[in-house]
Amino acid sequence: MFQQKFLQYQMHNQNHRYFIHKISDLLTIGKGQTGLLNRIVYFHTILFFPRNISLTNNINPTIMARRIVGIHERLPILESVPLSFQHLTAMFGATILVPILLGVDPAIALLMNGFGTLLYSWITKGGIPAYLGSSFAFIAPAMLIISTYGGFNHAQSGFIFFGLFFVAISFVVKYWGIRWIDIVMPPAVMGAVVAIIGLELAPVAAQQAGLAPWPSAVGQVVAPFAVSPNVLLVSMFTLCVGIIGTVMFRGFMQVIPILIAVIAGYFMALILGMVDTEVIRNAHWFALPKFHAPVYDLNAIIIIAPACIVVLAEHISHLIVTGKITESDLMENPGLHRSLLGDGVSNILSGFTGSPPNTTYGENIGVMAITRVYSVWVIRGAALLAIAFSVIGKVSAAISTIPAPVMGGITMLLYGVIAVQGFRMFVEQKVDFSKNSNMVLGAITFVVGVSGASISIGTVQLKGMAFAAIVGVILSLIFWGLGKAGWMNKEA
């Protein structure tokens, strides 16, 4: 009895030391990442699923460590399907949210996310368990293009450019590494740009939630703004469920608070008669997604281009975090260059078919952290399930009937979180704002991005995040040159 108690105490001690060690790791992994759940879920995994460490070489503890499924391990089909469905559920809410906000068929996003993930897995030689979902970084510039230059198909040319950019950068990274990113867009600029993405979108969330009037044309006579009780009830209910889920849910539920909030808000709207169920009844069970051909537009490419650097930093951070979780050096094998190439080719394909751009998803990294199942075959299974769901017409129809107040409620949380991620970059990257150069970079980038400032170059109008990012990059390069020349003062 004494020996058993002593072993339990010793195991607790070693798990406690491991926990403290991992908290130290947690503070350093994934610098610069913008995924909401990467750290939260990783922290949860450490806290509730501590790794069991062998106490001595001679004693076999009675409590066995949970099985770890390796990257290349292939599970039986009956085990793989539910695990793949978990990944589908984790990414579903965020992935369908982006096309809904951009006014395109969510089914095309599911289809191309699935094909893109399979393509990515093939290009990386099955060495990186990553799922590609719709990227939030392009919402603001895409909305500007849609409202100003003729529609979503014009934005597609910018998305194709993004894919080509990643393909080109994959060769740059292969031969010259990634240190140049800190010169082009240092953390003081990167954090500000990411924050602006969320802040720029915040008014749209408030309008959808029924808390602010929609913009009207100049000279248009509109009725005084009045809050609709039903709209406000649905949006605030959805927001509350999202907040409660984010801070209180545990286990796998912690990975899908967005999806749960949208479903809860949808049912509230259904009860209040705000959902057109006729659309669902009339939809066919089998229906192909709506494809859109791109329209070449240089304006769109110029507006989309600044966001590419932001997504590049996010991609690198996600790969670092995935490597930490799987205890593999994915940056070297199969390599960051292969990961960027796979993502780039996937986005070129998405741009030609009418899908929003893809990026590696923090939600799916969170699922792997919780389950400790890192198998790329499980990720491929999730991709196949996404493809299957994309051709179920009634699912697509149900998604299209999600009322605006539901989207407004959940995006009030999401857009705020995106903004906070920018501020968190300052902390994680230890940006020293006592240095004049960092202070100026952050200050000018913020003011340009949130003030409504704009500039027209020919037929291209730059404003918001795109304008801020370009100004930040130009200032960064100037400061780098001045520093190399030794012309900066000591406080810079």
Residue 216: per-residue pLDDT: 62
Closest CA to 318 of 301, 330, 300, 332: 330
43-71 residue pLDDT tens: 333 333 333 333 333 434 333 345 788 89
Residues 6+ apart with CB under 8 A from 475: 189, 440, 441, 444, 445
Q: How far is CA 19 from CA 22, 49, 100, 135, 322, in A?
A: 5, 10, 41, 33, 19
Angle, vertex CA 403, rays to CA 366 and CA 85, nearest 5: 30
Residue whose structure tokens are 């939809």: 283
Dig out the tokens for 491 from the structure: 């406080």
CA 356 to the chain's CA centroid: 13
User: Helix or strand or coil: residue 461?
Assistant: strand
Task: Judge contact between 393 and 147, C-beta under 8 A.
Answer: no
What values do phi and psi take at 408, rounded to 5?
Answer: -65, -40
pLDDT at 99 over 70: yes
Q: At what angle do helices 436-450 and 464-485 cross, to 10 degrees?
A: 160
Residue whose structure tokens are 């129809």: 397
Angle, vertex CA 346, rays to CA 386 and CA 159, nearest 5: 110
What is the residue-averaged pLDDT of the chain? 82
Q: Say what the pTM is.
A: 0.75
Helix (H) / strand (E) element for 463: namely strand 460-463
42 band by pLDDT with thresholds 50, 70 and 90: very low
Q: Measured between alpha carbons, how far is 392 from 399 in angstroms, rounded to an integer? A: 11
Helix (H) / strand (E) element for 358: namely strand 358-360
Helix (H) / strand (E) element for 441: namely helix 436-450
Q: How far is CA 198 from CA 63, 89, 116, 269, 288, in A?
A: 45, 24, 26, 26, 33
Residue 361: per-residue pLDDT: 84
Q: Measured between alpha carbons, how far is 278 from 281 in angstroms, rounded to an integer? A: 5
355-386 residue pLDDT tens: 999 999 877 887 887 778 899 999 999 999 99
Torsion angle of the four alpha carbons 182, 124, 114, 104, in this order, in degrees rounded to the nearest 10: 30
Dig out the tokens for 391 from the structure: 């051709």
Q: Measured between alpha carbons, how far is 180 from 173 in angstroms, rounded to an integer? A: 10
Report for 40-49, 117-126, 143-152, 191-200: range of highest mean pLDDT: 117-126
Q: Measured between alpha carbons, how far is 362 from 314 in angstroms, rounded to an integer? A: 10
Residue 357: per-residue pLDDT: 94
What values do phi and psi take at 358, rounded to 5?
Answer: -105, 160
433-492 residue pLDDT tens: 999 999 999 999 999 999 989 888 777 778 888 899 999 999 999 999 999 988 988 777
Q: Measured between alpha carbons, how far is 472 from 464 in angstroms, rounded to an integer? A: 12
DSSP per-residue codes, 150-196: SSHHHHHHHHHHHHHHHHHHHHHHHHH-STHHHHHS-HHHHHHHHHH
Q: Can you state the percent helix, strand and coil of the chain, rounding each to 5?
A: 70, 5, 30
Task: Judge contact between 318 and 130, C-beta under 8 A.
Answer: yes
Ordered by start, the domain boundaries in the chain are: 77-213+228-485
Angle, vertex CA 462, rays to CA 219 and CA 455, nearest 5: 75
126-180 residue pLDDT tens: 999 999 999 888 988 898 899 888 889 999 999 999 999 999 999 999 998 888 8
Closest CA to 232 of 409, 416, 413, 411: 409
Task: Judge contact between 276 and 413, C-beta under 8 A.
Answer: no
Residues 6+ apart with CB under 8 A from 10: 55
Q: What is the amino acid identity at position 255?
A: V
Task: Judge contact between 308 and 165, C-beta under 8 A.
Answer: yes
Q: Measured between alpha carbons, how far is 108 from 112 in angstroms, rounded to an integer? A: 6
373-421 residue pLDDT tens: 899 999 999 999 999 999 999 988 888 888 989 989 988 988 888 888 8
Q: How many CB atoms lie within 10 A of CB 12?
A: 11
